[in-house]
Amino acid sequence: MSTQTAEPETRSHPVVSREEWLKARKELLLEEKKFTHHRDEVSAKRRKLPWVKIEKDYVFEGPDGKKSLADLFQGRSQLIVHHLMFKPGDKEACHGCSFQADHIGGPLMHLKYKDVMITAVSRAPWSDIQPFKERMEWKFPWVSSYGTDFNYDFGVSFTQEELASGKIDYNYGSSPYVFEELPGVSVFIKDEEGNVFHTYSTYARGLDEILDANHYLDLTPNGRGDEDPEQWPKFHDRYEGGDGKSCCGNH
């Protein structure tokens, strides 16, 4: 993997004394604390959202055959679904969504002990997903929703009629982008009787909360480099000479 880094922009950046830096840092700390407290308030409101009971019998396919939505919980009461952009006919998932998928494995081992399972769901057939999953060496659960309404019902896939209209209901109608597939995360809970409820979905920049690599970059002087397409995430096995293009961009 390449270790090439961007050159720091020190020529145009102010350089001050330690005392001046400390004054500026304390001022920023006040803003950071406001942001943290506001995020806590928003998270509390998220947990209080009403639920919607799932009435459809969705069927998914994975390495162990057919699975229901309830099966994807794997014995836990809470489920996070990564809507991973990989449509029928594709041989690879989206670059940006693959960057997102790189953030699943690490937290999963901890979330299992908090009664949470994570799985990726894509619209491509399992026979197309499996070789790419093996190539990327991902160990998290991943299933196909091929032939079902699941992706459409949860706002990440769109019909040809919707695309032809020039307007899709992505991110609750707030996004100007019109694509056949777009990224998202949906959350579900299952009660003791086996009933499954949809509790939350987020799209577009709402996914930023779970991209820890971006938050590390936010701590650095050069930041994420989102304004330069050459700095966009690549497949983690293609950083040597990879093309870096992403179908997600910065929606």
Could you report the per-residue pLDDT of 52-88, keeping only the tens digit for each?
999 999 999 999 999 999 999 999 999 999 999 999 9
Residue 59 lies in a domain: yes
Residue 49 lies in a domain: no
pTM: 0.88
Residue 137 lies in a domain: yes
Instruction: Name the band, by pLDDT with cuts 50, 70 and 90, for residue 1.
Output: very low
Residue 161 lies in a domain: yes
Centroid of chain to Cα 60: 20
* Residue 188: closest CA among 69, 105, 88: 69
Residue 90 lies in a domain: yes
| Radius of gyration from C-alpha coordinates of the chain | 20
Q: What pLDDT shows up at residue 213?
A: 85
Tens-digit pLDDT profile for residues 122-176: 999 999 999 999 999 999 999 999 999 999 999 999 999 999 999 899 999 988 8
Whole-angstrom Cα distance, residue 14 to residue 26? 17
Residue 88 lies in a domain: yes
Cβ atoms of 198 and 188 closer than 8 Å: yes
Domain count, the chain: 1
Does the pLDDT at position 242 exceed 90? no
Residue 102: CATH number of its domain: 3.40.30.10
Q: How far is CA 109 from CA 63, 82, 100, 106, 140, in A?
A: 20, 16, 17, 6, 10
3-state helix, strand, coil split of the chain in percent (to 5) is 35, 15, 45
Q: What pLDDT shows up at residue 238?
A: 76
Burial class (CB in 10 A: 0-12, 13-18, 19+), 117: buried
Residue 5 lies in a domain: no
Instruction: Name the band, by pLDDT with cuts 50, 70 and 90, for residue 232.
Output: confident
Residue 172 lies in a domain: yes
Check residue 132 and report its DSSP letter: H
**Domain ranges, residue 147:** 55-210
β-pair type (78-83, 116-122): parallel
